[in-house]
Amino acid sequence: MRPNYKMSRRMKIENTKAQMRKGILEYCILLILSKKSLYVSDIIKELKKSEMIVVEGTLYPLLTRLKNGGLLKYVWQESSQGPPRKYYELTAEGKKFLAELGLSWEKLVEAINTIKNNDLNF
Amino acid sequence: MEKALTININGSIFHINEDAYIKLKTYLEKLSRHFGTNPDEKEIMQDIESRISELFLQKIKDENKDIITVVWVNEIISIMGKPEDFEDGENEDKNQKPSSDKKIKHKMYRNPEDRLLGGVCSGTGAYLNISTLAIRLLVFLLFVLTGGFIVILYIFFWIVLPKAKTTAQRIEMRGKEPTVSNIENSIHEEVKDIKDNYKNFQKSDSYKNGKEKISRFGTILISFLKAIIKITIVLAGLFFMFIGISGILVLLLVLLFGAQLITFLPFWGVSGPDLNLPEITNFFTNPGIAIAISIAILFFLIIPLIGIIFAGTKIIFHYRSNNRLIIISGLTIWIIAIIIIISIGFSQTSNFIKGKTATNITTTSNSSSSINYDNDLTSFNDSLNNSKYSTLYIHLTPDSNSKYKGKHFNKTRIRTKNGQMIWIAEPKFDIEKNSKNKLALTIQKSCRGKGNKAKKNLEQIKYNYSLKDSILFLDPYFSIKEGTGWNDQVLKITLKIPEGKSVFLSMDISNIIYDIKNTSNTWDGDMVGRYWKMTADGLSEIKN
């Protein structure tokens, strides 16, 4: 029974990590795209640099959902290496959404810091 | 030595080892299934495929090799990730049976890679594993035989069949096994099952185990029923398609060319409907309305037929289609057609009713005088009175039936004369008592409509009669000139006879006599072939 127990606990930790990442992944994508319109592989590069995603497959459904939600749009651009590529950028609505997310992120960080730094003296 | 294949991913051509191909194929299928519940599945798969294609291009460049190996595929999979690695929270459907992983779905698509028009032929060819050329030749043959009507079916498939865009879809299009042999195989399997079961049944019989016998018999019955159901489903699909297609053919023929043409078709024969579009439009004086209602009728009839074809193809072939969109849009057009038909119908009837009401209210000469007594009868009446005979014989004009050969349309008929169509209708013949001591014939015309238009319409009504010795000849029909339109024109002939005079009603006028009052209350149809005398009480039969 023991190894199984360990295994399931480990999976739970992984799951929590994944949930946390998932929660802020959209924010990260919007942040990256707010700087520059980018191709998927560039977005992936950035996200990998900051160890936000493990596999690329995660990104495609997210991008499609954000695009269909009106936060992103893409333009086709010719590429030297092959077929034309989709370059994603923020829409006006996406920019507004990003600003809102920024505020709530700050609040979250503040909340975490407050909890962390508070000496529980009661 | 290894077998290599050529594949197309997102528009780029790659050479790939067979084992690598199988691996990549299963991977793409897995992804496609994973995103299957996602409404954006197609778009996501296309993005992923284009990324995979790009990664392969990069690899070819970097390693200077031009064949994709399993190592590369594994690398790609580790970059893109397996569905279980995705953290999109949309993979909660992990309770799917793992066995379905190995089963490749087989669906019908249009093939965009090999197409002349929409890729329907090559898609069908790929689905059935028949050469595309054979299908195209068959379609061309059908095109010639049906006089181009196969085009309808082609356009239908073009609309409902999805295009095989992604590699996974192209794999689905070809399937693991071609469908024709699939159907055959499954039927063979069922038959084999029946045989096996029967053999076992015989064996068990030798053991003389009564209970087993019954259960064996049950299994045989079930597998037999299964086979029958499978065959029935395929036949039902074919039947639906046949009914739908022939229905549309007949409908178009009838509407466009009229009923004469379709009497040549074996399954309609002479009992075909006796109307066509040009005749229907005669009901409506306004040509714009006539066209509108024709189109509405066409849609009203054709949409259920298309639905039947759709159901038939769905039964036989498996393809993904946006059922809801197709059904909702079809239903919407159908309901709109019904609304148009009903509203036009109502507006026509209200015109009729308005016209009638106007006649009743206003009695001034100019407005809506839809009743007209023919004044040119004086000379005819004179000759009627001058005849020395005491009995007047009433007959139909000889040979007039051949003159008025036409098609039935309720009581009204249509006759074609020099390519022009003329409406003809039966008059109503009545006999009344004349208080003055003389014979008189009056002809009263009426129609529905307003003012001058109604007056004009009345002028277009033509009716002929003649008197020869003691015989009054009446035409069986009056005619309305083409272009007048049908406005419920009625022509009433009233013969007024004084007391003491008698008439003979010939058998042939039974169609036109209308509610002649008589002392014995004899029904119109029984009044013919007898002598009648006008008495003080009214018309009474002279019995021999």
Residue of A nearest to B86 (CA): A58
Q: Do A25 and B43 touch (CB under 8 A)?
A: no
A18, A56, A86: residue with CB nearest B81: A56
Contact yes or no for A55/B85 (Cβ under 8 A): yes
pLDDT of residue A106: 92
A120 vs chain B: nearest CA distance in angstroms? 35
- The closest alpha carbon to B48, from A58, A112, A81, A2, belongs to A58
Flag whether pLDDT at B6 surpasses 70: yes
Between A91 and B407, residue with greater pLDDT: A91
- Tell me if B82 and A55 make a contact (CB, 8 A cut-off): yes
Give helix A59-68 / helix A40-49 axis angle, nearest 10°.
120
Predicted confidence (pLDDT) at residue B130 exceeds the cutoff of 70: yes
CB distance A56–B50 less than 8 Å?
no
CB B44 within 8 A of CB A61: yes
Contact A41 B47 (CB under 8 A): no
Helix, strand, coil distribution of chain B in percent, nearest 5: 55, 15, 30
Question: Could you give the CA distance from residue B503 to residue B406 in angstroms, rounded to a whole number?
Answer: 31
What does the pLDDT read at residue B127? 79
CA-to-CA separations, B175 to B99, B105, B172, B437, in angstroms, rounded? 17, 6, 5, 96
Query: Which residue numbers of B have CB closer than 8 Å to A's CBs?
Result: 10-12, 31, 35, 38, 40, 43-44, 47-48, 50-51, 53-54, 57-58, 61, 78-83, 85-90
Q: Is the ipTM of this complex over 0.90?
A: no
Q: Do B506 and B527 touch, CB atoms closer than 8 A?
A: no
Distance (Å, whole) CA B260 – CA B274: 8
For residue B97, the model assigns a pLDDT of 35
User: How far is it, in rounded angstroms, from Cα B24 to Cα B184?
Assistant: 30
Cβ contacts (< 8 Å) between B40 and chain A: which residues?
61, 64-65, 68
Which of B71-75, B396-400, B484-488 has the largest mean confidence? B71-75
The stretch B263-281 carries a mean pLDDT of: 45
**Per-residue pLDDT, B286:** 60
What are the start-end ranges of the H helices in B35-131?
41-63, 70-80, 120-128
Q: Which of A41, A62, A81 sits opposite B88 (nearest CB)?
A: A62
| Largest interatomic CA distance in chain B | 123
Interchain pair B81, A55: CB under 8 A = yes
pLDDT at site B111: 84
What pLDDT sits at residue B118?
A: 81
Q: Is the pLDDT reported for residue B89 higher than 70? A: no
Residues of B in contact with A86 (CB under 8 A): 47
CA angle B21, B24, B27 (to 5 degrees): 150
Give the model confidence (pLDDT) of B260-269 as tens digits. 444 444 444 3
B237-265: per-residue pLDDT in tens? 888 888 888 888 777 777 666 544 444 44
Q: Is the pLDDT of residue B363 over 50?
A: no
pLDDT of residue B87: 57
Q: Do A56 and B83 touch (CB under 8 A)?
A: no
Chain B residues lying within 8 Å of A80, measured CB to CB = none
CA dihedral B46, B49, B55, B59 (to 10 degrees): -150
Nearest CA in chain A to B58: A81
Contact of B74 with B17, CB cutoff 8 Å: no
Q: Chain B residues with CB inside 8 Å of A62's CB?
A: 88
Residue B328 tokens read as 């909702």
Give the model confidence (pLDDT) of A55-79 as tens digits: 888 888 888 888 888 889 888 888 7
Instruction: State the residue for tokens 């092959």.
Output: A82
Tell me the C-alpha distance between A36 and A77, whole Å: 14
To test the contact with chain B by mutation, choose from A54, A56, A73, A88 the residue with the greatest count of B C-beta atoms within 10 A, namely A56
Instruction: Tell me which residue in B11, B35, B83 faces A83 most closely, judged by beta carbons.
Output: B11
Which of B44, B81, B87 lies nearest to residue A18, judging by beta carbons? B87
Can you tell me which residue has the tokens 């000469």?
B365
With 80 as the cut, is the pLDDT of residue B231 above it?
yes
Mean pLDDT of all residues belonging to chain B: 73
Average pLDDT over residues B482-498: 75
Q: How close B54 gets to chain A, by Cα (Å)?
A: 7
Chain A closest-CA separation from residue B79 CA (Å): 6
Report how far residue B24's alpha carbon sits from residue B18's, in angstroms, rounded to the nearest whole number: 10
In chain B, which residues have their Cβ closer than 8 Å to the Cβ of A65? 40
CA angle at A78 for the pair A89 and A31, rounded to the nearest 5°: 20
What pLDDT is stored for residue B176 in this prediction? Answer: 55
